[in-house]
Amino acid sequence: MSQQLRVEIQREVASALAEDIGTGDLTAQLIPLAATATGRVVTRQDAVLCGAAWFDTVFQMLDPESSVVWHARDGDQIKAGQVLCDIFASARSLLTAERTALNFLQLLSGTATTTSRFVAAVAGTKARIVDTRKTLPGLRLAQKYAVCMGGGQNHRIGLYDGVLIKENHIIAAGGVKQALKRALEIAPSNAFIEIEVESLDELKEALAAGARMVLLDNMSIDEMREAVSVTAGRAQLEASGGVGLERVREIAETGVDRISVGGLTKDVRAIDLSLRHIEE
């Protein structure tokens, strides 16, 4: 886990707790201050676990003396009924933290689980599943981490670490050749440069201009096969647009290198977890 992500976890958790607690948890004040409690998180469905660091951070921020003992790790396939972790904390902290902690764990496990289904669907092909910038505001690095835990790969993180030239960029720059030339002049050496095309003619124009990564936008299966043939390994090809689980295998079998799926992070459905309080 990168230092950038560690810092981001602290920010995200602090923001989520402030949103939920505000000036204080009124209901938790019903519990004696000195009382302690034990909790246990159980999954109600098969999934891929993700978000343990966020879960831990919630409890550490509220109760530095608390501890979480995990019985599974991020990236693990988990089964319905499985115990994921045990929590030992003050009773007030446990009650205050549980919803925020579960929100992170459920959401990120949902992203990882969805990603794993797409990855499994293209197994045996050369295609890799990648994410997009269609993430929940404020949770981009978290969701992109979850994509990796599900076996996918990250596209650019934001507008600062990669160049994706779309139709309006091409028009404003004066054409495909001009746009690519300018991109090479301004992009940092570690940033990729990709250009979007909507037809085989545009693909040929982009290849002639020296494109090394091309996004095939909303092309048919036949057009993608032809694009792979025309490109002949001169550039990486990424399929994009309306990619669902029901057709991702067919797309992968055209021979494209990458398939970007906005639904990994945009349409995520949280998995079903339960935090049970255990009598001591």
Catalytic residues: 99, 134, 166, 196, 217
Give me the residues paired with residue 65 across strands. Answer: none
CA angle at residue 48 from 120 to 147, to 5 degrees? Answer: 70
Instruction: Report the alpha-carbon distance of residue 227 to residue 241 in Å, rounded.
Output: 16
Task: Give the DSSP per-residue string, 88-148.
Answer: EEEHHHHHHHHHHHHHHHHHHHHHHHHHHHHHHHTTTSS-EEE--S---TT-HHHHHHHHH
CA angle at residue 83 from 77 to 86, to 5 degrees? Answer: 125
What residues have CB less than 8 Å from 2, skipping those under 6 apart?
none
Distance, CA of 64 to chain centre: 29
Residue 268 — φ and ψ, nearest 5°? -65, 140
Nearest to 155, CA basis, from 126, 189, 131, 127: 131
CA angle at residue 128 from 80 to 164, to 5 degrees? Answer: 120
What residues have CB less than 8 Å from 145, skipping those under 6 apart?
1, 5, 50, 108
